[in-house]
Amino acid sequence: MYVPKKLFFTKGVGVHREKLSSFELALRDARIAYYNLVRVSSIFPPNCEEISIEEGLEHLQPGQIVHCVMSECATAEPNRLCAASVGVAIPRDRNRFGYLSEHHAFGQSEQVASDYAEDLAAEMLATVLGVEFDPDSSWDEKREIWKIADVIYQTKEVTATSVGHARGHWTTVVAAAILLP
């Protein structure tokens, strides 16, 4: 059975006249282009430790199959804002699983996209842990309820944003959580 023990977060931006090359350049900027990335759903494994990207890359070899939770967004429309974000919510009881969320959007600032992804992960975790709240309440209101319930240890996010290239080249943003054995 394979359950990741470590993970790291990364993000990148790429611009090129070809969409695929733009994506490749975003992965290079994120320092994960040389691996065969396999997207998985959004569970933060129990007892998983976050490590730095530098430490994480030491565990990887070019061509290796690597599991990740990734968000991407691309545009060829000049001046169009695009965002990709991965949020995480880690339970206080580290023997339980948490959640990772992917969010990608057009027209959202880095702050709006990152808040959304972080809120989404926290909301998924809170509902699994039985915390009752109004899903339409603000992030600050929900955060206060989760603090009182004392079931969420930490939330965070990684977000990449960029504005579409002025001459219409493809602009791609990626954000990822890379899962390691």
CATH number at residue 11: 3.50.20.10
Q: Average the pLDDT over 12-36 and give the result.
A: 98
Tell me what the pLDDT averaged over the chain comes to. Answer: 93
Give the separation between CA 5 and CA 46, rounded to whole angstroms.
8
In this prediction, residue 22 has a pLDDT band, given cuts at 50, 70 and 90, of very high
Structural domain includes residue 27:
yes
Structure tokens at 71: 């968000």
pLDDT recorded at residue 126: 86
Structural domain includes residue 125:
yes
Does this model's pTM top 0.85? yes
Q: Average the pLDDT over 92-112 and give the result.
A: 97
Structural domain includes residue 41:
yes
Structural domain includes residue 1:
no
pLDDT recorded at residue 180: 97
Give the separation between CA 8 and CA 179, rounded to whole angstroms.
7
Is residue 145 scored above 80 in pLDDT?
no
pLDDT recorded at residue 106: 98
**How many other C-beta atoms lie within 10 A of the C-beta of residue 98?**
27
Is residue 147 scored above 70 in pLDDT?
no
Instruction: Tell me how many helices (H) and strands (E) the chain has.
Output: 4, 9
Give the separation between CA 116 and CA 130, rounded to whole angstroms.
21
Q: Which domain holds residue 58?
A: 6-180
Is residue 175 scored above 70 in pLDDT?
yes
Give the separation between CA 125 and CA 131, rounded to whole angstroms.
9
Is residue 77 scored above 80 in pLDDT?
yes
pLDDT recorded at residue 136: 72
Question: How many domains are there within the chain?
Answer: 1
Structure tokens at 109: 């600032």
Structural domain includes residue 151:
yes
